[in-house]
Each structure stands twice: as C-alpha cells, then as structure tokens.
A = this chain, B = another copy of it.
Amino acid sequence: MKKQYVNDSFKEFVSTLPLLEGLCAQDMEALLRVAHHRDYKKGEYIYRQGEDADRLSIIRSGWVRLYRSNLDGEEGVAQLHTKATVLGEPVILPNSQKNFFSAQAISRAQLINIPGAAVREITRRNPVVLSRMMQGLIRKMDDMYVESEHMTLMSAPQRVACLILRLSAHMVGKGGTFTFPYDKSLAAAQLCMKRETLSRALSGLKTYGVEIQASEITIDNFAQLSAFSCARCSLNTECAGARCSSYPVRGGAESCGLIA
C-alpha cells in the first residue's frame, strides 16, 4: 500500500469514529499503529470482486461505488457511499472471505484501511464494536430494501427527486443550490435506470421547481419536491431527504455513518 500518516488529523478522525467509540487507550494505540490512511484517485479500485477480503475500510472523504459485474462485463446496480461509511465488513468473519463487490473510488477519496487481523482482534476484545458494525450492516440492508421498494412503487422522476433530496439533506432553509457530487451516469446506475432516463427525469422536474445547470442543482422548495417524491415511500418522514413535518431518522448523505 501507500504512506501511513500518523498525524493529528488522522488520529483525530479515527479516534472520533462512532464505530470505535469506547476503545481503551491501549487498543486505540495499537489500532493507530496498523491503520493506514490512503488517498485514492478517481477511478482507482479499493478492492475487486472475488479477491480475498483482507481489510476493513472507512471512508474519510469522497465517494466510493460498490458494484458487481457479470461475465460480459455488464454492471447492474451501484451502491454509492461517502463519509463515515464502513466497507468490507466480511473481513471480520473467521473463515476467509472473498469480496462480493468491487469497490472503486469515483471521486478523489480518502480512506482508512485496517488490516483484517487487527479488526478481528479489536472486535474480539471489544464486542461492542462488532455490535456497531452490525448496526451499520442492518442500516445498509434497510437502505437497500428501500431502494428496491422505490423501484416498484415510484416513477423515474420520483426516484430522481428522492435522490437529490437526500443529497441535499444537510441543507437548511426552504430551498437552495448544490453541486452534484458524482457523475450523473453513476447516479443513474445507483437508481437502476439509464443515463438518458435520468437526464429526462431531471429536466422533467422543472415543474416542481428544480433547475439544472450542468452539475448545479437548484431546488426551489424542498417540501414541495418531497410532496411529489415521497408520497408512496414507506419511510415517510423517517428519511433525511423527506422535508415534510418531522425530521431525519435514517438515510441521507450526511447521516449514513455508524451513529449510535
């Protein structure tokens, strides 16, 4: 691998991860010695489908896509993850595992990699960490389920609206402008639709006060767009993207980490 930063910022990021909260000083020390920071260029692979799973990765910044491809090289769905997401959970399993997904940086991305042996040692000594990983997994499962649900219950424009609402979940106020954080083709794969469909759906959202200027997206009124998008979703207000009455519980770009 590459360089191993043991500077303050790295230490601080690792030691404030919800996943690792409550580790004793000794365990944290040991962890910091083996954890590696690494910078990935856009397009670079963190690991590939079928390789041995040998480390846990935590996203510090940037975006990573998880996907699989078949023999023809076709790719189905993509899961896109960002800050604080834990990748490579299978590494904690005793019998050595293969990576089910390929993980690729789709923007410049910074990750913390922790060797499998260290992860297993930490979780053995601190079952609470295992339990937090489990919580993260359950969250991912639920998110995946919701994505499938959207496929059957919602139209393409509604799913696109849902996505931009989630991407702007951290924004306060009635409306606003933000920059699409990754290629639209990837967003299309994430939503299980074609590039062209995404493009058309986005321009179709003009009706609901959405303005597109290349990768600059302006939403006039979050609540109005939610009313269109979230109507048939089973999460209702339990979604960071939904701007109806009450507020975030799950999902959303900023809240997808392992928050206890």
Known: A68-B145, A92-B134, A93-B131. 6 other contacts (CB 8 A): A77-B145, A77-B149, A124-B127, A130-B134, A134-B137, A152-B192
A30 interfacial by beta-carbon distance below 8 Å? no
Give chain B residues whose Cβ lies under 8 Å from the Cβ of A260: 95
Give chain B residues whose Cβ lies under 8 Å from the Cβ of A234: 49, 68-70, 76
Task: Indicate whether A77 sits within 8 Å of B152 (C-beta atoms), given known contacts A93-B135, A142-B100.
Answer: yes
CA distance A236 to B74 in the complex (A): 13
Q: Which residues of A contact B (CB under 8 A)?
A: 49, 68-72, 74, 76-77, 79, 89-90, 92-95, 100-101, 123-124, 127-128, 130-131, 133-135, 137-138, 140-142, 144-145, 147-153, 192, 232-234, 236, 260
**Given B79, B100, B147, B232, which contacts A72 in the complex, CB threshold below 8 Å?**
B232
Task: Indicate whether A92 sits within 8 Å of B137 (C-beta atoms), given known contacts A76-B149, A148-B144.
Answer: no
**Given B130, B141, B151, which contacts A131 in the complex, CB threshold below 8 Å?**
B130
Q: List 10 A-B contacts (CB under 8 A).
A: A69-B234, A70-B153, A70-B234, A76-B148, A76-B152, A89-B134, A93-B134, A94-B128, A130-B130, A137-B138
**Given B69, B74, B140, B148, which contacts A147 in the complex, CB threshold below 8 Å?**
B148
Task: Indicate whether A70 sits within 8 Å of B144 (C-beta atoms), given known contacts A134-B133, A137-B134.
Answer: no
CA distance A134 to B95 in the complex (A): 13
CA distance A140 to B100 in the complex (A): 12
Residue of B nearest to A230 (CB): B70
**Given B74, B77, B90, B138, which contacts A232 in the complex, CB threshold below 8 Å?**
B74
CA distance A94 to B132 in the complex (A): 9
Residue of B nearest to A100 (CB): B142
